[in-house]
């Protein structure tokens, strides 16, 4: 099984290929890398990869992710962007929209609760809701993706969708996707905080 996280050598990063571990995919899946290289020769795929590398180098350590997304979009010729956001980040979504529009982009935005469908349609019982006894609209990432598909967006941006809902959006979106921020209510939407402070979050990182 591939496990780069446990490598410790990272010869690929240094191009010191003589020190590759025996189970390194660069040893065991050589043909795959030729297949991947061929994929980059596709005009659309190659353009995305090229512009990603340009943005990485130009803004390295200086540009915020918001700026990087705008620079990447501009260099890629993307003018109409989709914004799929969580109701809990609606204020942030408005500010993001203003920033992008001020920089010349068109923004089509869709909130997670669009459709106002009850969670019961998913088989959720009342006691399984966040607030039992009350109406709760289901998050609707499939509809979010479908609506942005109809808008013919050049690229879609995810802002704070829940785990699983982001998965469904990615599955149904036709346009390429990038992530501005992810949902993590326990850490102020900074999931790596639980990694950096794992000694504190240790009990909260174990599933039961």
The reported pLDDT for the residue numbered 140 is 99
Assess whether 92 and 161 both reside in one domain: yes
The reported pLDDT for the residue numbered 54 is 98
Domain that holds residue 91: 65-208
Assess whether 83 and 184 both reside in one domain: yes
Assess whether 58 and 143 both reside in one domain: no
Residue 147 sits in a domain whose CATH number is 3.40.50.1860
The reported pLDDT for the residue numbered 196 is 87
CA distance 128 to 122: 11
Contacts 24+ apart (CB under 8 A), 120-123: none
CA distance 41 to 162: 34
Distances (CA, A) of 40 to 32, 125, 152, 178: 13, 47, 24, 18
CA distance 123 to 140: 14
The reported pLDDT for the residue numbered 200 is 67
Assess whether 39 and 91 both reside in one domain: no
* 121 within some domain: yes
What DSSP line would sit under 18-40, residue for residue?
GG--TT-HHHH-HHHHHHHHHHH
Q: How many CB atoms lie within 10 A of CB 52?
A: 15
The reported pLDDT for the residue numbered 197 is 85
Which stretches in the chain have pLDDT values below 50?
Answer: none
Residue that has been written with the tokens 């009850």 in this structure: 118
Question: How many domains does the chain fold into?
Answer: 2
* 27 within some domain: yes
Assess whether 174 and 82 both reside in one domain: yes
- Per-residue b or e along 18-47, where b marks 16 or more CB atoms closer than 10 Å to that residue's CB: eebeeebeeeeeeeeeeeeeeeeeeeeeee
Assess whether 208 and 177 both reside in one domain: yes
The reported pLDDT for the residue numbered 208 is 62
| Strand arrangement, sheet containing 155-159 | 106-111, 80-85, 155-159, 177-181
């Amino acid at each position: 099984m591939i496990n780069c996280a446990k490598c410790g050598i990272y010869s690929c990063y240094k191009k010191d290929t003589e020190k590759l571990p025996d189970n390194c995919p660069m040893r065991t899946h050589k043909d795959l890398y030729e297949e991947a290289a061929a994929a980059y020769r596709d005009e659309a795929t190659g353009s995305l990869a090229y512009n990603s590398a340009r943005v990485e180098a130009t803004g390295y350590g200086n540009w915020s992710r918001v700026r990087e997304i705008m620079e990447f979009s501009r260099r890629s010729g993307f003018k109409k962007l989709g914004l799929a956001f969580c109701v809990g980040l609606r204020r942030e979504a408005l500010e993001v929209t203003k920033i992008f529009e001020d920089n010349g982009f068109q923004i089509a935005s869709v909130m997670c609760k669009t459709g106002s469908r009850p969670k019961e349609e998913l088989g959720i019982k009342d006691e399984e809701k966040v607030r039992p006894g009350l109406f709760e609209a289901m998050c609707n990432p499939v509809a979010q993706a479908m609506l942005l598909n109809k808008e013919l967006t050049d690229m879609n941006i995810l802002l704070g969708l829940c785990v699983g809902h982001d998965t469904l959006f990615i599955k149904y979106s036709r346009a390429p996707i990038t992530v501005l921020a992810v949902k993590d209510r326990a850490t102020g939407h900074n999931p790596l905080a639980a990694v950096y402070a794992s000694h504190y979050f240790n009990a909260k990182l174990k599933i039961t």
